[in-house]
Every structure is written in C-alpha cells, then in structure tokens.
A and B are shown apart, each in its own frame.
Chain A
C-alpha cells in the first residue's frame, strides 16, 4: 500500500498501460505500415518500393470520388434511419418495459447471434423480386409492375440500417434508462406538456446515447462492403468494395492503402463536424 501512496501519480499510467500497449502493437504499428504502403509504387509481380508516391492519393480521389461520396451518403442515411427506428423502441423499453426489459433487449440483440453474412443474405430473400414485400409494394403502386428492390440503393441502405441497428439501439437504451423519472414528473408539475417535457428533459438527457449510437453506426457503415456487394448492383458499390477489390483481386496494395486513409480522413472530418455541432461534452456525457 505504501508503494502506491508514494507513487500515486503513477497509478493512472499503470492502469492505462495494457490498453496503450495493445493499441500500439495492434493499431498504431499496423497503421504505420499501412501509411508506408500507401506511398509505395510498383506492382505485385515486380514488387513494391517506397517512393513517396503521393499520386496514389490523387488517383484514388480522382477515380473513385463517386464511391467515396456514395459511402458517406449511404452511411449517413442508414444512421438517420437507424436512429429514427431505434429511438422509440429504446424509449419504450426503458420507460415501459418494466420487468420485461431484459427480455425485450434480448429480442433486439437476438438476430445478431446469427453471422453478419447470413443476416445480409436473408435480406436477399425478404426483398426478392417475387417475394411478399415487392408484391405488396407493387400492389400499392409504390413500385411499378416491373419494379424491384434487390440490386438497388434502397436495398443497400436497408441492409446497412438493419445490420447496424443494435449499435444504435443499445447506447440509446442505456442513456434513456438512466434518466430519473422524477425529473419528468417535476417538469409536468411545472405545467410542461408531455411533448414539452420530452423535448426539454428527455431528449437532452439522452443525447450522449444519440451521439454514441450515431458514431458507432456511421463509422463502420461507411466502410462496409458486404451489403453493397450482395444487395446492390454495380451502380451502388461503395468505397469498401473498391478497397476490397484493390487488395484482393488486383493486389494493388498501395492504392488500397491510400483509399483506406482517405476514407479514415473523410470519416474523421464528418465526425469532427458532427461533434462540433452537438457539442463535445455529449461524447463523454458530462454536463456542459
């Protein structure tokens, strides 16, 4: 005990050490390799050499701007949809779930015990040209008689929304569940309508969950390629598809590495803008 008293200021660093070491070895170092690789030139047959090939970045931006923008766009729409879908559900479970809370949460998480690929393939069946959904929509004249959902942007965004839903719903639930209901009673005692109490009390108090949920959804969604590959047509492919094909099909590692960095930068910019807009204190949940 005496040791810790004397070195009290060291304690936080000791606690951080395993995490920092882990991140250094498995994140920072590989990232360094990736950065190095993104500036190489050459090809797989003759080998690659480091030449400060900044051209890889310009080529990626020039040739694949469409896919970059599409990725951010699809991820953005899917995040918004996931938020709109999850919020009422999480709200209901947190405030009305009662003793069924845990079971209801399990229902949200249960489909995700199935692997990602199978879940995505299931949408191939749900949205099939001769399936129930398409026939119903054709009947309601939402879709034309030869209209379809598979291999369209709608299917891709739907797939992404579904696949990342728990990452939105669970943080929302946690922040809503922590709200002290007495605050809502107090608001109503002070003549706030139910709606006003929601806007003035519940919503602001749940913002940390909203921020955490949107980030956990948007960031992986922007780099996703499975949904676009299985549910989209070539016109719907995202930057993840291009990176995948550059890495695996073309073994053009420098181009793929450069694209990965551009994607990271793009996501970082989007996240910073977002954090500025809602206020950074919401990221940590400390009252501002």
Chain B
C-alpha cells in the first residue's frame, strides 16, 4: 500500500465501496436473468423477432474461414431480416444441461431460442418430459416434409412436436493403418493383445453399449438387464486388463492423428473432418450406433422465429450448404449426416466429392447396419450409475 493512502482514506473508500454491497442488491444479482417467458411467447404471435438466439455445438455449421462468417446464417438475415446470434457453447450434453437446468427449473428464460441436444443421451428426453421445451409451430415449417423417413417417429418425441434433427452421425471404429492391421470388429478392439493400451472407448453409454451389444448379438434398441450386464462386463474386463486406455468425448481424435492411439471407438464426422488418409472409419462388422442431434426450443424461446429458422434449414439447398459448404466460395461444411431429403442432390451440383463421401451420405447398407439405443435404458438410474462408475471410477 502506498503511503499516500492513509488510514482515513482507506476507511472512506471502504465505506463508499460497501454502499454498493447492500444485501438486497447482491441477492438480486445472484438471481440471474429475470423471467421473460411470459413476454416473448404468446403462441399466436407471428411476427419475427429481431434476433434469433441459437446455441450449438462447436464446428457444427457452414463456415467461411477467411471471412469468419457462417454463410447460411447471413443468408437467413438477408431473407428474413432476423439476425442470428449464434453461440458455440455446447460441448457435451451433460455440462450444457447442467448449465441450463437451474434457470429452467425456476421458470426463468435461458435467453436462447434454439438449443441442440443429442438423442442418445438422457437430457433431450428429460427436457421434453419436464416440460422445458416449447411445441414447434408446425404451420411455419412446411419443409418438415423433407425430413428423412427414419427420423419421423423417435421414441422421445413420437410425432416430432418438440424437436427436429440438426445432424446425425454414426458410431463405429476408427483405426490408423500405419500402426495396426484393420480393426473392424468390437471383439478385436476390446481383446486383441496387440492393441493393449492403444485404444479408447467413448464415454457416452448409448454409443458404447450399442456397439458392444450388437457384437454380442443382443438388441440395443430393447435393452434388458441380461444384455446390459453382458455388455457392461465385457467393457469392464477390457478396463481391468488395461486394454482400454481412456474413455473419451471427441478428444480421442488428436490422439489418433498423433499415433498415441492405434484404434478408437469413434464418431463418423470427426474422421471426415480430420481428413487423414491413414485413418479409416468403419461401421463395426456386427453393426454400430446411429445418433441424432436435435433442435429444441427451450421454454421462453421465441417459437415463431425459431420455427421459421427450422423451416429455412429444411430447404434442401440450405441444408446442402450447411452440410457440405461450397468449394467455390471457400466455405466448409459440417460433414456429419444430413437429415434433409434432397440435400445430396443439391450437393451433387455444387460439391460432388462431398455428396459421394459415404461418411456424410452413408450407403443404405451402412444405414441398415446402425441402430438407435433404447431411450428407456438411457434414463435407467441403475445402468447410468454403473456406467459412470466404470467410466470415471
């Protein structure tokens, strides 16, 4: 402390500072945003908001890296006059849900009109079950007719009243051909002694168990205690024998590219994005998992504006732009699996290489071989606890 600041001066400043710290003021500051739900959401309101607040996962929309823009969002603004405030703040379902569940459970708005959650984790169905999602305004979404058939009636939202797919992806096995022979089956991945300590498994229960159950000849769409235990014990054995090095989210990708991992249970889009010719991705011989990230309007979001945006992305041309970008303008795409009919045809004209990439537009044979994990099992507390203890214990 400087000499100039004597005791009296200090006290005076402390008193002045203290005045701002009155208890009611502090408590009000703790409460977070006020309840805006009533103001913004009368269901009959058909005027577009000035701003659409959209939370998505990182690297999950078309991007022009030179201009640092998202062309499809700029186009939306040009067409409708609504600015999209696009935030890449979702890294995994659990953390994001943890962040928004507080305000939602108190009936407060989270200041978002669209959020994207995955169907093979429990939080998407929880949002709907808890009444924390708004119903879509389907009259504003005629393009819903372009939704691919396989996505029409999911268990968590049988008539698509609350959700629409953003992108899908497949879960399978990736391997690095410089380090190992092809790894094509789950049994090989989990038991081949040459791969000991050189593989990772995904920490999402739905992804991991779907693949292992299919390898066991069990049905992952209808999980029983017996099939759960069998798959669980098989993975536990691989943990105990140190075959499995780690459980990961998508942080396995750099390890695989660097050569620390020979093989990994992996998501198709990650491998399409890496674009490394030595890393190959396959649906496991006995089958893999299919999952879908879904757009949802959280309670308090602007239903009409969000629905108009959903209609916009279900236009095949827009979907093609988001999916594959555009090589002419230097836009990169998402490279996962597009849920919109007609997008592939649109892409064949602008970027045939992407349209023909089977990781992005999988063949029928691949799609027949991937399954969606039982949504009841995702909410089974006994399974979840056992799985989390294995993954983090």
Our verdict on whether A and B bind, yes or no, reads: yes
Could you list which residues of chain A lie within 8 angstroms of chain B, going by C-beta atoms? 1, 4, 11, 14-15, 17-18, 21-22, 25, 43-45, 63-64, 66-67, 124-125, 128-130, 146, 148, 150-151, 230, 232-235, 237, 241-242, 244-252
Whether B393 contacts A234 by the Cβ 8 Å rule is yes
Given A14-B11, A18-B14, A18-B17, A248-B98 contact (CB < 8 Å): yes
Q: Which residues of chain B have C-beta atoms less than 8 A from A17's C-beta?
A: 18
Q: Which secondary structure characterizes the binding site on chain A?
A: helix
Answer yes or no: B197 CB below 8 A from chain A CBs: yes
Per the 8 Å Cβ criterion, residues 142-163 of B in contact with A are none
Across the interface, name the chain B residue whose C-beta is closest to A232.
B246
Pairs of residues from A and B, 8 with the lowest C-beta to C-beta distance, nearest first: A245-B392, A248-B94, A241-B392, A129-B260, A248-B98, A245-B388, A151-B245, A249-B94
Across the interface, name the chain A residue whose C-beta is closest to B254.
A124
Whether A67 contacts B393 by the Cβ 8 Å rule is yes
Q: Which residues of chain A have C-beta atoms less than 8 A from B126's C-beta?
A: 44-45
A161 to B390: give the CA distance in the assembly, Å.
Answer: 26
Known: A45-B129, A130-B258. 11 other contacts (CB 8 A): A21-B23, A25-B30, A130-B259, A146-B197, A151-B197, A233-B242, A234-B390, A242-B392, A242-B393, A249-B388, A251-B101
Per the 8 Å Cβ criterion, residues 247-263 of B in contact with A are 247, 251, 254-255, 258-260
Per the 8 Å Cβ criterion, residues 92-136 of B in contact with A are 94-95, 97-98, 101, 126, 129
Distance in Å: Cβ of B133 to nearest Cβ of chain A: 16
Distance in Å: Cβ of B341 to nearest Cβ of chain A: 35
Q: Which residues of chain A have C-beta atoms less than 8 A from B98's C-beta?
A: 247-248, 251
Whether B260 contacts A128 by the Cβ 8 Å rule is yes
* Contact among B23, B384, B390 with A250 in the assembled complex (CB-CB below 8 Å): B384
Whether B381 contacts A151 by the Cβ 8 Å rule is no
Whether B381 contacts A14 by the Cβ 8 Å rule is no
A223 to B245: give the CA distance in the assembly, Å.
Answer: 23
Whether A246 contacts B258 by the Cβ 8 Å rule is no
Of the listed residues B239, B251, B384, B393, the one surrounded by the most CB atoms of chain A closer than 10 A to its CB is B393
A238 to B126: give the CA distance in the assembly, Å.
Answer: 29
Q: Which residues of chain B have C-beta atoms less than 8 A from A150's C-beta?
A: 245, 260
Q: Which residues of chain A have C-beta atoms less than 8 A from B392's C-beta?
A: 234, 237, 241-242, 244-245, 249
A242 to B8: give the CA distance in the assembly, Å.
Answer: 50
Of the listed residues A11, A14, A17, A129, the one surrounded by the most CB atoms of chain B closer than 10 A to its CB is A129
Q: Which residues of chain B have C-beta atoms less than 8 A from A246's C-beta?
A: 388
A233 to B385: give the CA distance in the assembly, Å.
Answer: 19
Whether A245 contacts B197 by the Cβ 8 Å rule is no
Distance in Å: Cβ of A165 to nearest Cβ of chain B: 24
Q: Which residues of chain B have C-beta atoms less than 8 A from A242's C-beta?
A: 392-393
Distance in Å: Cβ of B147 to nearest Cβ of chain A: 29
Answer yes or no: B391 CB below 8 A from chain A CBs: yes
Per the 8 Å Cβ criterion, residues 219-278 of B in contact with A are 239, 242, 244-247, 251, 254-255, 258-260
Whether A234 contacts B391 by the Cβ 8 Å rule is yes
Answer yes or no: B1 CB below 8 A from chain A CBs: no
A151 to B198: give the CA distance in the assembly, Å.
Answer: 10
Across the interface, name the chain B residue whose C-beta is closest to A225.
B392
Whether A230 contacts B18 by the Cβ 8 Å rule is no
Q: Which residues of chain B have C-beta atoms less than 8 A from A18's C-beta?
A: 14, 17-18, 21
Distance in Å: Cβ of B32 to nearest Cβ of chain A: 14
Whether A234 contacts B384 by the Cβ 8 Å rule is no
Distance in Å: Cβ of B7 to nearest Cβ of chain A: 9
Across the interface, name the chain B residue whose C-beta is closest to A21.
B21
